[in-house]
Structure 1
Amino acid sequence: MNKGSAKVLLVEDEVSLGTIVKESLESRGFNVEYCQNGEEALSAFTKDNFHILVLDIMMPKVDGLSLLKTIRKKDQYIPVIFLTAKSRTEDVIEGFKYGANDYIKKPFSMEELIVRMNALIHKPTQPKQEWLAIGAYYFHHEKQLLKFNEEEQFLTNKEAELLMRLLEKKNELTDRSIILNALWGSDDFFNARSMDVYISKLRKKLSQDPSVKILNIRGYGYKLVV
């Protein structure tokens, strides 16, 4: 896939903003399907294949959070960016809980949106990943799978990337700000809170082996202890 040729599902109930974003993305070579509510978007998603979703949170019929929850049952991997006018930390964290990969607050620049989209779509090609041992677990970074005995758990893109960062420095301290800047783009308060949510989710998914722990070294970062 060439840069800028991605197929985008854009969902925004504010028609003036949605039209502007659609036209701006298309002028840069993206193929955009625009829906004005979550119900239309879910129908479009089930009928076609997309490379990325850009979703508003507050929408009629089906809101963005409910839409993403349904989509994640069908597709664990497609990148999702939330567009939101909300500023409450709880709303941002809720979006990450449902499997969002990134968010951007209104008003925003098209340049910033496109940079964030391309960061998710055009990830550098990595060599084929094999299963990596984490205690009694096996982790496949490329497939975003975590296996315990014969039981497999799907990981979101962010969960897999975060676990890989911790595993690369197994039994060593991983600096909090380095992870935040690498995976979230900055180490601000909102991103720090969302990372805490993802750490909690990984702890739960690794809880069947008591020898595997993710320690919080307050003020410094995290350590994956195996």
Structure 2
Amino acid sequence: MNKTIEIIVAEDEPSLGQIIKESLETRNFNVHLAQDGEEAYTLYKTKSAKLIVLDVMMPKKDGFTLAKEIRKEDDTIPIIFLTAKSQTHDVVEGFMIGGNDYLKKPFSMEELIVRINNLLHRSALQKKTEIISIGIYTFDFTKQLLCHDQQTQQLTHREAHLLFHLVKNKNQVLDRSMILKKLWGDDDFFNGRSMDVFISKLRKKLKQDDTIKIINVRGYGYKLVY
């Protein structure tokens, strides 16, 4: 790697955190180190990190809770969990929350570095392919743009993520409760009404192609057809 890549490492054991930081910085990474979940979240909001390494058991805010908050805002940044836990259900929970990899302590620095590089490579490839055709439109998920015939519509973060999930589940019902919890954090009545408004906005932005339909499947969710 010729260009320094910024990553966040959240680890509450100062000695281990420093070892990870120093090891990664010899490999051309710029490491922002946090010792608790709240500090890590502040770094996420203020730094341009390409990847996050989270210890699961941290003070103030644990790694799973922090990952849930990050996933409400960003579906794409790679997250690696570090943990002393070895139970299968802990591993499953980490992946269900949105983790991309899971490394059990103790681990070698070489293994961590290989996993980081693999996720960064995968993330770069994904971003190159996140330009999607939707009927007559071109949807650039990374830049949150919907384009057609020299016209470009800038989508909000939530519009882009909602459309992305609809596209990924094309011709299938997108579960209402699941997407509300993922993008809004809760599937209560008020968030449900908010999602209905966003669906209406997307319909308007896609209206120039009358073959594109976002169908309300009552009691289940929405289905994008084209």
TM-score bracket for the superposition, by shorter chain length? 0.5 to 0.7
Q: Which residue number in structure 2 is paired with residue 71 of structure 1?
A: 70
Identity over aligned pairs, percent: 47
For the residue of structure 2 that corresponds to 1:32, the secondary structure is strand
For residues 39 and 72 of structure 1, the distance between their equivalents in structure 2, rounded to whole angstroms, comes to 15
* 1:184-199 matched pairs, under 5 angstroms: none
**TM-score, normalising length from structure 2?**
0.59
Distance 1:39 1:115, change over 3 A: same
For residues 42 and 14 of structure 1, the distance between their equivalents in structure 2, rounded to whole angstroms, comes to 17
For the residue of structure 1 that corresponds to 2:119, the secondary structure is helix
For residues 101 and 119 of structure 2, the distance between their equivalents in structure 1, rounded to whole angstroms, comes to 9
Which structure has the larger Rg? 2
- Is this contact kept in 2: 1:84–1:106, CA < 8 A? yes
* 1:130 to partner: Cα distance: 2.5
Aligned residues: 168
Q: Which residue number in structure 2 is paired with residue 130 of structure 1?
A: 132
Deviations 1:13-57 (A, max 9, x none): 111111111110011111001111101111121122101000000
The one-letter amino acid paired with 1:108 is: F
Runs of 5+ consecutive residues of structure 1 not aligned to the other structure: 146-150, 168-200, 213-226
Using CA pairs below 8 Å that are at least 6 residues apart, which structure has the higher relative contact order?
A: 1
For the residue of structure 1 that corresponds to 2:131, the secondary structure is coil
Are 1:51 and 2:58 matched, yes or no? no
The one-letter amino acid paired with 1:24 is: S
Are 1:103 and 2:105 matched, yes or no? no
Deviations 1:129-164 (A, max 9, x none): 33268xxxx99696599xxxxx96738x9x9xxx69
Q: Which residue number in structure 1 is paired with residue 16 of structure 2?
A: 17
Q: Which residue number in structure 2 is paired with residue 154 of structure 1?
A: 161
- Is this contact kept in 2: 1:81–1:103, CA < 8 A? yes
For the residue of structure 2 that corresponds to 1:103, the secondary structure is strand
Cα RMSD over matched residues? 3.9
* 1:109 to partner: Cα distance: 1.3
Distance 1:28 1:141, change over 3 A: same
* 1:108 to partner: Cα distance: 1.0
Q: Which residue number in structure 2 is paired with residue 181 of structure 1?
A: none
For the residue of structure 1 that corresponds to 2:71, the secondary structure is helix
* 1:197-212 matched pairs, under 5 angstroms: none
The one-letter amino acid paired with 1:19 is: Q
